[in-house]
Amino acid sequence: MNEAQRYKAILDTLAKTYPDAKPGLHFSSPFELLIATILSAQCTDKRVNQVTQVLFRDYPDAQAIAQMPSNVLEDYIHSCGVYKNKARNILATCKILVEQYGGQVPKTMEELTKLPGVGRKTANVVMSNAFGIDAIAVDTHVFRVSNRLGLAHAANVEKTEEDLMRNIPKEQWSIAHHWIITHGRQVCSARKPKCDQCPLQAECEYYSAAQQAG
């Protein structure tokens, strides 16, 4: 099996194993996705959806949120993990959106990552899922799993993005992200991965290395 066939075999297996994988965050605008993605670190998508449904009902846009007292915003997002950091970043980001972008969300990596609380991963999520820009968001699950499998061979996130974009057909970038995350949560966990339950043993570089090591 050559490299191209190996990548295809991995993607086909992921597609069959996780047929229901899909984006988990609810949003109706780029702004809502930006805020939801900032909130989603260390927090389940389900809880973020609960929080944003109420937050956006009461404060629907950047102008409204930018004027919230920090303690009020903290109360809204209290159940989303690191809420004080997130509240401070969201307030600062909304003020920048209002003052510099007319309340809209910018579309480039350079502009997005200047916003407080927005790093490379969040910027890629917004670009690909809200603006339809070709991008792959590499979070820790995607980084770990794709490098274990050999979908990528990279020491850092940026290079992993390049490897994945080169090896995965563009039309599968979005869904592959969700296949890989699901696999990373359910099977290919950071500690004690369940290799005995993994349908990708035959294609996995991590597994074959572990077998050789004994």
Partner DNA sequence: AACTCGGGGCA
Partner DNA sequence: TGCCCAGAGTT
Please report, as a single letter, which amino acid is at residue 22. Answer: K
Give least dist CB 23 to DNA, A.
15
Site for DNA in 56-75 (CB under 7 A): none
- 116 binds DNA per the rule CB under 7 A: yes
Q: Which of 56, 164, 177 is nearest to 156 (CA)?
A: 164
| Residue 20 annotated in active site | no
- Dihedral in degrees, nearest 10, Cα atoms 195, 200, 203, 209: 0
DSSP conformation class of 104: P
Residue 46 or 153: the one with the smaller Cβ distance to DNA is: 46
Other Cβ atoms less than 10 A from the Cβ of 81: the count is: 16
Site for DNA in 127-186 (CB under 7 A): 139-141, 185
Annotated catalytic residue, options 45, 95, 114, 121: 121
Angle, CA 44 vertex, CA 74 and CA 169 arms, to 5°: 125
Position among 89, 104, 174, 201 found at the interface with DNA (CB under 7 A): 89
- What amino acid positions are annotated as catalytic residues? 121, 139
Contact footprint for DNA (CB under 7 A): 41-44, 46-47, 78-79, 81-85, 89, 113, 115-123, 139-141, 185, 189-191
